[in-house]
Structure 1
Amino acid sequence: MMGERQVDQAALFYEFSIERHVPQDHLLRAIDRFVDLSEVRRDLAPFYSSTGRPSIDPELLIRMLLVGYCFGVRSERRLCEEVHLNLAYRWFCRLGLDGDVPDHSTFSKNRHGRFRDSDLLRKLFETVVRRCMAEGLVGGDGFAVDASLIRADANRQRSADGTDEVDWEELAATRRSVREYLDTLDDAAWGAASETRPKFVSRSDPAAQWTGAHKGHAFFAYATNYLIDLDHAVIVDVEPSRAIRQAEVGAARTMVERAQDRFGLWPERLAADSAYGSAEMLAWLVHDRGIEPHIPVFDKSARTDGTFSRSDFPYDHDRDLYTCPAGNELRPRQRVYRTSAPLVDDDGMMRYRASKFDCDACSLKPQCCPNAPARKIPRSIHEGARDMARDIAKTDAYTASRRERKKVEMLFAHLKRILRLDRLSLRGPCGARDEFLLAATAQNLRKLAKMVPAPSPIPA
């Protein structure tokens, strides 16, 4: 039969347990097992006054930020509304039913002050990485590195031409992002990465790079750089940089060094794409860090005009010379001068030259150097590391590394499609760093929740 009509009658007492209304298979229940905020108060204690009114609990702010980044809630104003209404969010934030949700402006106040001064978000990320290591998700034998572009909170209409003179000191007096830009002009991942002026510079966020790397409409962007372990695709380190290749290579070095210093991880191999295959990067990996580069060599020596390429000239390591297809030798010097020029130029390249006498009498000259009196072969001082990378590229281990390297690209897809971090909400290098750290922390927490099963409940 039909049930009775429901009548809204206020009761004097209610018995309600928020614990019973959060499903056992909810993502936040799985994540909560790995959230360790025991050091937050100790790290932030020097940045609070000993007098005045009690502040908002910093652990509450961190938990709310984790909720936002785990579930793709990009607006902090929207996040406060969701935490106020959602029982699972309230349970995770330890608010109960009657706990007050802080105002959205509290996040900005703490982010620009205590959180950045104490480097709290970096410490939170590293705490989660150590938990991944304790759970056996980080092998430490093979790493992969890559970068992905994230749109900045800047637009073309309010930008200046790269050749225009802009009084950045005046803008820095009122804009935090401009002050951060001026502070990073000498950093390898920012201003010092390249002296080339971009076509446009944003007045609101000048550290963002104008780029057309996606082969479509150009836009202002930052690069988020991931260093991951190849066993379970755990993000070992994350670093923001300008959206250019030189800055991304510099960020990769920083992450490898920091992983070794902070976690004691010394990988045997590093997988990456050809953007990281420059001679300097390969030499740094091989000679300075002892890491096998499973990286395609960045090489533009192949010719398409029908003449011989550099690969047609075998190199003799013992005699330090090249041999041309006709059997003649190319040496760094063909004659002895009273005052000899340096063998290595400013770009770290040596020139191996053939004898003009040999080239004039050679029948292969039209296929070798038709427009030059003699053939010259440039060789980098780091060519030994490049040769090692070429030899590794012929092995089965290299093929496996190239296949496993796709895991970092899947993390970037997850970052943009699931966590919805396809455009930054914060400006400046510090804002990009905060967002990338929180997003990587959320991805590692979701990885822990997926890979580490919950303990079985003990029967009564």
Structure 2
Amino acid sequence: MLAQQVEIRRMMGERTVMQEALFYSFRIEDHVPGDHLLRAIDRFVDLAGIREHLKPFYSAMGRPSIDPELMIRMLIVGYCMGIRSERRLCEEVHLNLAYRWFCRLDLDGAVPDHSTFSKNRHGRFRDSDLLRKLFETTVERCMVEGLVGAEGFAVDASLIRADVHRQRSVPGEEGLPPDVAGRAVAEYLDVLDDAAFGGATPVTPKRINLTDPASRWTAATRGSAFYAYSTNYLIDLDHAIIVDVEATTAIRQAEVLAQRRMIERTQDRFGLWPAKLVADTAYGSAPNLAWLVEDRGIEPHIPVFDKSARRDDTFERSAFTFDHEDDSYTCPGGNRLRPSNRNFSTPRSRVNADGFIRYRAREKDCGACPLKQRCTPKLAARKIMRSVHEGARDLARDIATSDAYLVSRRQRKKVEMLFAHLKRILKLDRLRLRGPNGAKDEFHLAAAAQNLRKLAKMKPIVGLAPA
């Protein structure tokens, strides 16, 4: 009878109760799949100099600290695998063999507490600019692997929601109340003179959030307005490698400033001088085009930001021909428009505060012109505004008629695809850290993770399919 019961249990597949063994022969290395993403990424992670870089920020007294390389590897796991919560990251590293292997932890290795990350992020990591250095090491490795051509760059910005309550705010014209406090508020006050985050921007915010004042109230998307930061990417067009990243408040002026900073930093840090820059109309202002063409020698494959179009079927500015030698426009009726039709004894500045010169026709010429109703039906004489940087604008217009510009329009989608990957795959559609420094930390780590994933895809392990 007993033998029959045992046989029935065996046939039913009943398992025996697990018993602890005295000894195990176990290697984590043997249990990590050869085609696992982290195995492919691990080849390109070099943290050899991290301890030397952080050495000045550690005290020679007190209890031993957590190995900084372990925490950086855990952060890489979190951002590469889309694990946004530090508490959940610690749990996953504790349970997942592949994560333990990547973090160089054996089976009985202790996983740091999630609070340790907060202390180091707001302390040593931030003071030493470690996460910026980590991102730059990924760019250097991409250059070594031949993934950066530096012939053309693209730039764009994307909105990332801030971790704030939208109702805890005050009208922008009232300013920040003096009694609010917090780490994010202190960081905002430290960057008030920086147009990327603070009050140096000429745009007065509609509302100021009391939890994270550097975030900006924006209605740029089709949904309801929200508080956000902008992550700005400068990418190489060959393989969509992120060569620089910058965090700013969510306004166009700050994004244009970030573009200049990233180009300058990339040239100084890596010696990369692109022949062209691809961007959308937000970067097509006259001063920015002039900076690219005259100061940096970069071809602007950018639509010109131009408001000269008319809705009343009258002649647009494109119908007027500019004469460089005579410094005048010729209208469709053959008359001249000049900056001044009188000679003054005291020379006057022809450039207004916005950097434009007004060209006017003579009233008697317009009054006798048969095309007046199609040119200036409401004014006595036609006027045209010309930027002092019109040469750069004309160059951008000429480039926009070329076949190379059509190719650039298609290539610009690469940076948009990176933003889609950032939000959908890496789950960075909302920040978890607050303040300008929190946004910088998150954007640097996310960009580093995207470069590492691109390296793993473009340089697969020999004998295996791309990760």
Query: TM-score, normalized by length of structure 2?
Result: 0.95
Question: In angstroms, what is the RMSD of aligned CA positions?
Answer: 1.3
Query: Which residue pairs with 1:21 in the alignment?
Result: 31
What are the Cα deviations for residues 324-348 of structure 1, in whole angstroms up to 9, with x where unaligned?
0100000111110223421111111
Q: Which residue of the other structure, out of 273, 297, 301, is the alignment partner of 2:308?
A: 301
Deviation at 1:192, TM superposition (A): 4.9
Residue by residue over 1:120-151, the C-alpha shift from the partner in whole angstroms, topping out at 9 and shown as x without a partner, is 00001001100000000000000000000000
| 8 A Cα contact 1:193 1:246, kept in partner | no
Deviation at 1:318, TM superposition (A): 2.1
Task: Report if aligned partners of 1:224, 1:436 keep a CA contact under 8 Å in 2.
Answer: yes
Match of 1:128 in 2: 138
Superposed displacement of residue 6, structure 1:
2.0
Specify the code of the residue in structure 2 equivalent to 1:171: V
CA shift for structure 1 position 8 = 1.9
CA deviations on 1:57-88 (whole Å, 9 max, x unpaired) are 00000000000000111110111011111010
Aligned mate of 1:290, from 291, 294, 297: 297
What residue is the counterpart of 1:333 in the other structure?
Answer: 340
Range that drifts further, 246-255 or 357-366: 357-366
Alignment of 1:371-382 (within 5 A): 371-382=378-389
Change (3 A) 1:193 1:216: farther
Could you list the per-position Cα deviations for residues 91-148 of structure 1 after superposition, in whole angstroms to 9, with x for gaps in the alignment? 0001110000011010111111111111000001001100000000000000000000
**Match status 1:426 vs 2:433:** yes
Does residue 92 in structure 1 map to residue 102 in structure 2? yes
Counterparts of 1:316 and 1:422, CA distance in 2: 51
Matches within 5 A, 1:7-406: 7-168=17-178, 170-172=179-181, 175-192=182-199, 194-406=201-413
Identity %, equivalent residues: 71
In 1, the alpha carbon distance for the partners of 2:124 and 2:71 equals 12
- Kindly indicate whether the alpha-carbon contact (under 8 Å) linking 1:193 and 1:247 is maintained by their aligned counterparts in 2: no
Contact residue 192 and residue 200 of structure 2 kept, 8 A: no
Structure 2: which 5+ runs fail to align? 1-9
Contact 1:210–1:219 (CA<8 Å) still a contact in 2? Answer: yes
Alignment length, in residue pairs?
454
Give how far 1:306 is off.
1.4
Q: Please report how far the alpha carbon of residue 360 of structure 1 lies from its aligned counterpart in structure 2 after TM superposition.
A: 1.2
Secondary structure of the 1:185 match is: coil
* 3-state DSSP of counterpart to 1:191: coil
Q: Give the TM-score of the pair, scaled to structure 1.
A: 0.97
Q: Which amino acid aligns with 1:364?
A: L
Query: Partner of 1:410 in structure 2?
Result: 417
Contact 1:155 1:219 in 2 (8 A): no
Aligned partner of residue 379 in structure 1, secondary structure? strand
C-alpha separation in 2, matches of 1:190 and 1:9: 60
Shift, 1:194, TM fit: 2.8
Once superposed, which parts of structure 1, at least 4 consecutive aligned residues long, lie more than 3 Å away? none
1:446 matched residue in structure 2: 453
Q: What is the Cα deviation at residue 456 of structure 1?
A: 5.5
Paired AA for residue 75 in structure 1: S
CA positional deviation for 1:197: 1.9
CA distance in 2 between partners of 1:397 and 1:304 (Å) = 31
CA distance in 2, matches of 1:303, 1:247: 29
Q: Aligned AA for 2:149?
A: G
| The 10-residue stretch of structure 1 (434-443 or 358-367) with the greater mean CA deviation from structure 2 | 358-367
For residues 61 and 295 of structure 2, the distance between their equivalents in structure 1, rounded to whole angstroms, comes to 51
Aligned mates of 2:19, 2:108 — CA distance in 1: 21
Deviation, structure 1 residue 54: 0.9
Q: How far does the alpha carbon of each residue in 1:14-36 deviate from its partner, in whole angstroms, 9 at most, with x for none? A: 11111111000000000000001
In structure 2, what is the Cα distance between the partners aligned to 1:303 and 1:340?
Answer: 33
User: 1:171 is paired with a residue of what secondary structure?
Assistant: coil
**In 1, Cα distance between equivalents of 2:322 and 2:50:** 58
Distance, in Å, in 2 between the alignment partners of 1:141 and 1:318 is 35
Task: Specify the SS of the correspondent of 2:119.
Answer: helix
Gapped regions of structure 1 (runs ≥ 5): none
Which is worse superposed, 263-272 or 152-161?
152-161
**What is the Cα deviation at residue 164 of structure 1?**
2.7
Any conservation in 2 of the 1:41–1:58 contact (CA below 8 Å)?
yes
The separation in 2 between residues aligned to 1:403 and 1:141, in whole angstroms, is 16
